[in-house]
Amino acid sequence: MQAPFSSIVPGSVVPPTLRVESELHDLRLDLRRWFEKNDPGPQPFEYEARMAALTRWQRQIHRAGFVGLSWPTEFGGGGMGLAAEAVLCQELAATSMPQLINRIALYTWGPTILSRGTPAQKARFLPGMLDASEIWCQGFSEPDAGSDLAAVRTRAQVSGDMLVVDGQKVWTSRAELSKWNALLVRTDPEGVRHSGLSVLIVDMGSPGVTVRPLLQMLGEPHFSEVFFDGVEVPLENVLGGLGNGWDVSMEAMAYERGLFVLERTTGLRRRFADLVDRLDALGKIEGAVASLGVLESKLDLLDAQVLRTLGHQENGTLVPGSSSVDKLFLADVYQDLFATAFDHLSDEGLDDGWIHDLLESRSVSIYSGTSEIQRNVIARRLLGL
Amino acid sequence: MGLEVAATLDHLLADHASTERLLEAAASEAPDSTLLTTLDEAGLTELAVPEEMGGLGLGLDQLCLVGWVGGRRLMPTLSRLKMTLVGPLVMDGLSGGPSAGAPWGCGFPAIGSATADGGQAEVWIEEKASAALVVGERSSRVVDLGHPDSVVEPEPGVDPGQGRSRLSFDPDASTVLTGADHARIVDRSRVLVLAELSGVADRVTEVSVDYARQRSQFGRPLTAFQAIQHKLADMRAGCELIRSAVSRLAWLEEPRPELTASLGAAAVSVARQVAEDAIQVHGGMGFAWEYGIHLYYRRCLALQQQLGGTESLRRFVGRSIIARRKTQ
Ligand SMILES: Cc1cc2nc3c(=O)[nH]c(=O)nc-3n(C[C@H](O)[C@H](O)[C@H](O)COP(=O)(O)OP(=O)(O)OC[C@H]3O[C@@H](n4cnc5c(N)ncnc54)[C@H](O)[C@@H]3O)c2cc1C
């Protein structure tokens, strides 16, 4: 038996991808000119100095009018499409600091608030995201709820017009720098698994919040344990309604896999260019030509995947679960790039930066859903298994 | 328009290119001439020809849809070559020779090594072909197969039954084609290889998922085992990546041959892994001649070779990075 043709053609065999070539030419030139003039030079190696420099950098880019290009103008954005963000990412990649410190806010929680937030939440939270005056973190993982996120036990009880939060999160990135925490908690103690969860926007300066930095593999206090002991959070800080935490979180994760992956990708491009420079300076480029070809083609493929995802996001046609492909492949390319760099530079030319990046690359297949979890999602949502 | 054409092609191939027929052609090592004629008559060679030259003038995105269907149904290689190269190139500049819809031989311009000047070429040849098109990057040659210096040696290679052969010819006795559009036509023909790969990968993944659902071991369907789920998930992820590569190229405003090469190099590796996993998921059935899973694998390998061979493709992409640096 043969399936009818219309049922096998997904309507998107050749889905339109975000076009970044000819569109927005003026924006690209503006950015290029501005970045050339204002490039702050290599980022400090030392963690705290690096964080401070990155914060200043985002503030500066914001002042020039280039942060939040796709956000509505009424909230301080540029009122443009996602293609503008893509162009920013690409041009930012050519600078010495190819990342925005507040990316969790810009790429994940900002879009979620734009989609699900109340007018008051939009007015309160969006501006501080753009100028990096209020850094965001995301409190999902707990000691007993990692991959199995629905097992979160941190709870929040309604008491008048407040919620009172008790529990513990772990691996919260940049918690010590953050003003706000998008916190996934159980608000209905009777709720099973995905029901009864809510996302709260928690002020990290509230009484009862304790942040205990954890060193990661590189010895940097990149993430923390965060303890909540009777922390009061106004009810108006519930994002997307009480009990809708699972949906809100999943929507946030879908955003994360669009621009966030694009941003990581452009950062990788930058490091790839560094690698080519390094090999050239060492006179080793000829011997590495095939490896460089592999990396270049994987980077192009990753770009193609992300641009397609963004094209779907822009058109509202993103298939749930499909952006797991982006995350899975990002980890693959990320780890391949730094492993290749290590292999080709091991005899000479391997500075601490390359060692740092190789070690750090191991985190990419763990954070925001491990590669195994992405495969589970693809199996379940795309293949229906 | 593209959708109707694709649906027609899908039906024709469903009727005329069953697994049994494909296996027969593979075993006989000769292309299925009835099928080739059927597809010619359906107008395949006119699809990529501009309207003002009497063709259908399908856009690249629509041609990709057609190529994708061709990949799913393991369309004869010659049909793709006639659609993407013979049709557009011959319509553009040959008088007195065979028409595009007649039997032909045709080569494929491998990336990075494509000249039409040597007296040797890999071509795919149908029965009764009187001429062969040897395609280079900027020009092509029409070789008269009746010329005494034209010698054809069958070399079926990894994907037999497609008419793959080695052609020796006298370059001076051939007609040179150099249309203004030549390079663009060549780039499109490469994008269409990726569209075909996308179809092959999608189809073999679907077939594997279906098989894993209905085959039970240890009292459970294979899909209950996470090792199999993850393999199938990787296959599906691979399919998405290849499709993204095709989309990216199909929607460019101007062709970017370097990007075609780069995405091509990545996509052929991904597709090959998908087809290898498909064999693994099928167990012994995957290794059996009769079940035909090897046909998808063979096609992936053949398309990879046509595009340029893994190592030379990688080097080509690597060299273009170096060349770009020198001009900056
Ligand atoms: C650098 C970094 C930054 C992070 N930042 C944050 C943050 O800001 N906020 C936050 O909330 N969290 C953060 N995390 C935590 C991260 O989301 C979790 O580490 C991740 O979800 C995995 O959870 P886990 O560590 O408990 O591992 P586990 O869930 O215990 O997994 C251990 C291993 O088992 C595998 N496994 C688990 N379940 C399955 C299954 N069902 N099928 C197959 N394999 C399975 C996993 O893939 C993994 O290989 C961060 C982690 C890192 C490394």
Question: In angstroms, what separates the C-alpha of B86 from chain A's closest C-alpha?
Answer: 24
Cβ-based neighbours of B310, under 8 Å, separated by 6 or more: B265, B268, B269, B304
- Judging contacts by C-beta atoms under 8 Å, the chain A residues touching residue B58 are none
**Pairwise CA distance, residues B315 & B277, whole Å:** 26
**Pairwise CA distance, residues B174 & B133, whole Å:** 10
pLDDT attached to residue B255: 93
**Tell me: the pLDDT tens digits for A170-208?**
999 999 999 999 999 999 999 888 999 999 999 999 999
pLDDT attached to residue B94: 65
**Pairwise CA distance, residues B192 & A14, whole Å:** 12
| pLDDT-based confidence at residue A2 (cuts at 50, 70, 90) | very low
> Which range (A3-7, A337-341, B44-48) has the least confidence?
A3-7
> Which range (A134-138, B259-263, B275-279, B322-326) has the least confidence?
B322-326
Q: Which residues of A are catalytic?
A: 256
pTM across the whole model: 0.95
Measured CA to CA in angstroms, residue B90 lies from B21, B76, B97, B132, B151 at distances of 30, 20, 9, 11, 22
- Report, at the CATH architecture level, how domain A137-243 is classified: Beta Barrel (2.40)
Which string of b and e fits B206-229 if b means at least 16 CB within 10 Å?
bbbbebbbeeeeeeebbbeeeebb
pLDDT attached to residue A184: 98
- What is the average per-residue pLDDT within A239-267? 90
Does the CB atom of residue A139 touch ligand 1 within 6 A? yes
Q: Is the pLDDT of residue A18 over 80?
A: no
Interface test with A, best of B19, B248, B313 (most A CBs within 10 A): B248
pLDDT attached to residue A21: 65
Q: Which two tokens stand for residue B324?
A: 């770009």
Domain residue ranges in chain A: 22-132, 137-243, 246-382
The answer to whether residue A307 neighbours chain B at the CB level (below 8 Å) is yes
**Pairwise CA distance, residues B178 & B140, whole Å:** 7
Identify whether the C-beta of residue B171 lies closer than 8 Å to the C-beta of residue B119: yes
Residue among B290, B272, B275, B211 at smallest CA distance from B18: B290
Q: Is the pLDDT of residue A55 over 80?
A: yes
Phi and psi of B122, rounded to 5°?
-90, 125
Domain residue ranges in chain B: 182-327
The DSSP-derived string for A304-362 is: HHHHHHHHHHHHT-PPTTTTHHHHHHHHHHHHHHHHHHHHHHTTTT--HHHHHHHHHHG
The answer to whether residue B7 neighbours chain A at the CB level (below 8 Å) is yes
Helix (H, G, I), strand (E, B) or coil at A119: helix
- Helical (H) or strand (E) element with A214: strand A209-214
Across the interface, whether the CB atoms of A276 and B7 are under 8 A apart is answered: no
The answer to whether residue B240 neighbours chain A at the CB level (below 8 Å) is yes
Identify whether the C-beta of residue B107 lies closer than 8 Å to the C-beta of residue B121: yes
Across the interface, whether the CB atoms of A305 and B241 are under 8 A apart is answered: yes
**Tell me: the pLDDT tens digits for B69-95?**
999 999 999 999 999 999 999 876 666
The dihedral formed by the CA atoms of B300, B305, B306 and B308, expressed in degrees to the nearest 10: 130
- Judging contacts by C-beta atoms under 8 Å, the chain B residues touching residue A376 are 226, 229-230, 233
Q: Which two tokens stand for residue B263?
A: 């995405």
pLDDT attached to residue B238: 98
pLDDT attached to residue A4: 52
Q: Which CATH superfamily is domain A246-382 in?
A: Butyryl-CoA Dehydrogenase, subunit A, domain 3 (1.20.140.10)
- Helical (H) or strand (E) element with A164: strand A162-173
**Tell me: the pLDDT tens digits for A312-345?**
888 888 888 999 999 999 999 999 999 999 999 9
- What is the average per-residue pLDDT within B207-225? 98
Q: Which two tokens stand for residue B290?
A: 């009769």
- What is the average per-residue pLDDT within A268-284? 93
Identify whether the C-beta of residue A69 lies closer than 8 Å to the C-beta of residue A78: yes
Angle between helices A324-345 and A261-281 (to 10 degrees): 20
Which string of b and e fits A273-303 if b means at least 16 CB within 10 Å?
eebbebbeeeebbeebbbbbbbbbbbbbbbb
pLDDT attached to residue A1: 37
Identify whether the C-beta of residue A234 lies closer than 8 Å to the C-beta of residue A161: yes
Identify whether the C-beta of residue A179 lies closer than 8 Å to the C-beta of residue A205: yes
Residue nearest to atom 29 of ligand 1 (CA): A147
Pocket probe mutation, ligand 1, options A185, A367, A376, max atoms within 8 Å of Cβ = A367
Identify whether the C-beta of residue A132 lies closer than 8 Å to the C-beta of residue A58: yes
How much distance in Å is there from the Cα of A374 to the middle of ligand 1?
11
Does the CB atom of residue A154 touch ligand 1 within 6 A? no
Q: Which two tokens stand for residue B285?
A: 């059935």
pLDDT attached to residue B92: 64
Residue among B22, B64, B92, B49 at smallest CA distance from B243: B64
Does the CB atom of residue A95 touch ligand 1 within 6 A? no
Across the interface, whether the CB atoms of B317 and A307 are under 8 A apart is answered: no
Look-up of token digits 């079926």: B156
Residue among B245, B152, B148 at smallest CA distance from B196: B245
Looking at residue B253, the DSSP 8-state letter turns out to be S
The more confident residue out of A254 and A154 is A154
Q: Which two tokens stand for residue A156?
A: 């929040």
Chain A 343-372, residues with CB within 8 Å of chain B CB atoms: 372
Measured CA to CA in angstroms, residue A31 lies from A24, A43, A94, B57, B297 at distances of 11, 20, 11, 39, 46
pLDDT attached to residue A8: 57
**Pairwise CA distance, residues A193 & A188, whole Å:** 11
Task: Using CA coordinates, name the residue in chain A closest to B208.
Answer: A383
How much distance in Å is there from the Cα of A369 to the middle of ligand 1?
6
Across the interface, whether the CB atoms of B14 and A19 are under 8 A apart is answered: no
How much distance in Å is there from the Cα of A367 to the middle of ligand 1?
6
Identify whether the C-beta of residue A362 lies closer than 8 Å to the C-beta of residue A339: no
| pLDDT-based confidence at residue B104 (cuts at 50, 70, 90) | very high
Does the CB atom of residue A374 touch ligand 1 within 6 A? no
The answer to whether residue B125 neighbours chain A at the CB level (below 8 Å) is no
Beta bridge partners of B175: B142
* Number of Cβ within a 10 Å radius of residue B259: 22
pLDDT attached to residue B262: 97
Alpha carbon A296 to chain centroid, angstroms: 22
Chain-wide mean pLDDT for chain B? Answer: 94
Task: Using CA coordinates, name the residue in chain B closest to A289.
Answer: B318
* Domain A246-382 in the same topology as domain A22-132: no
* Number of Cβ within a 10 Å radius of residue A195: 14
**What ipTM is given for this predicted complex?**
0.96
CB pairs under 8 A between A and B: 156
Across the interface, whether the CB atoms of A382 and B236 are under 8 A apart is answered: yes
Helix (H, G, I), strand (E, B) or coil at A33: helix
Residue nearest to atom 9 of ligand 1 (CA): A172
Question: One-letter amino acid identity for A173?
Answer: S
| Tally of residues, chain B | 328
Interface test with A, best of B236, B310, B311 (most A CBs within 10 A): B236
Residue among A204, A211, A202, A194 at smallest CA distance from A249: A194
Does the CB atom of residue A172 touch ligand 1 within 6 A? yes
**Tell me: the pLDDT tens digits for B4-14?**
899 999 999 99
Across the interface, whether the CB atoms of A290 and B314 are under 8 A apart is answered: yes
- What is the average per-residue pLDDT within A70-87? 92
Across the interface, whether the CB atoms of A297 and B325 are under 8 A apart is answered: no
Pocket probe mutation, ligand 1, options A142, A171, A374, max atoms within 8 Å of Cβ = A171
Q: Is the pLDDT of residue A6 over 60?
A: no
pLDDT attached to residue B93: 62
Given CATH 1.10.1660.10, say whether it is the number of domain A22-132: no
Ligand 1: atom nearest CA of A376 is 42
**Tell me: the pLDDT tens digits for A222-231?**
999 999 999 9
Given CATH 3.30.70.1170, say whether it is the number of domain B182-327: no
Pocket probe mutation, ligand 1, options A147, A154, A324, max atoms within 8 Å of Cβ = A147
Residue among A176, A181, A172 at smallest CA distance from A225: A172
Cβ-based neighbours of A39, under 8 Å, separated by 6 or more: A95, A96
| pLDDT-based confidence at residue B274 (cuts at 50, 70, 90) | very high
The answer to whether residue A49 neighbours chain B at the CB level (below 8 Å) is no
Q: Is the pLDDT of residue B253 over 90?
A: no
The more confident residue out of A209 and A351 is A209
Q: Is the pLDDT of residue A119 over 90?
A: yes
**Pairwise CA distance, residues A323 & B90, whole Å:** 43
Looking at residue A156, the DSSP 8-state letter turns out to be E
**Pairwise CA distance, residues A222 & A177, whole Å:** 10
Does the CB atom of residue A260 touch ligand 1 within 6 A? no
* Number of Cβ within a 10 Å radius of residue A346: 10
- What is the average per-residue pLDDT within B31-54? 93
Identify whether the C-beta of residue A91 lies closer than 8 Å to the C-beta of residue A35: yes
